[in-house]
Amino acid sequence: MTEEQKEQEQEVPVEPEVKQELRNNVDMVSEITTELKRFFTFDILNYIHKPWKLIGLNFFMGLVRGIGFFLGMTIVGAIVFTMLTKGLQAGIEAKIPILSEWLAQLVAMVQNNMQMVK
């Protein structure tokens, strides 16, 4: 801080009502903090006394996350697959030489692998 800023801070008078309001706010925040600590302590103790409740909650949350991941990846995969399919079809219809050569090589590799498997 510069000297000017320090002087400006010292010049600002604080009214007694504002000080009292700030003290009330500090008291209110400390009360809320105490209540939250008490609540979380009760919650932790509840899970310590009933471990099956914690296990069931974690199992359920894992199940929900797994289903969400599965559905999300299915949707994203379908969108990507559709975009690639449309792009390949457009490339084949436009007769892009590079793309058609690459596709021909890919088809040849797949056919060779199929013959090796048989």
- Rounded distance between C-alpha atoms, residue 80 and residue 72, angstroms: 12
More confident residue, 17 or 3: 17
Residue 80: count of CB within 10 angstroms of its CB: 10
Residue 96: count of CB within 10 angstroms of its CB: 14
Q: What's the chain's average pLDDT?
A: 81
Which DSSP letter does residue 2 get?
A: -
Q: Are 92 and 103 spatial neighbours (Cβ–Cβ below 8 Å)?
A: yes
Q: Where are the domains of the chain?
A: 20-117
Average pLDDT over residues 67-90: 88
- Rounded distance between C-alpha atoms, residue 70 and residue 84, angstroms: 21
Q: Are 47 and 54 spatial neighbours (Cβ–Cβ below 8 Å)?
A: yes
- What confidence score (pLDDT) does residue 23 get? 84
pTM of the model: 0.43
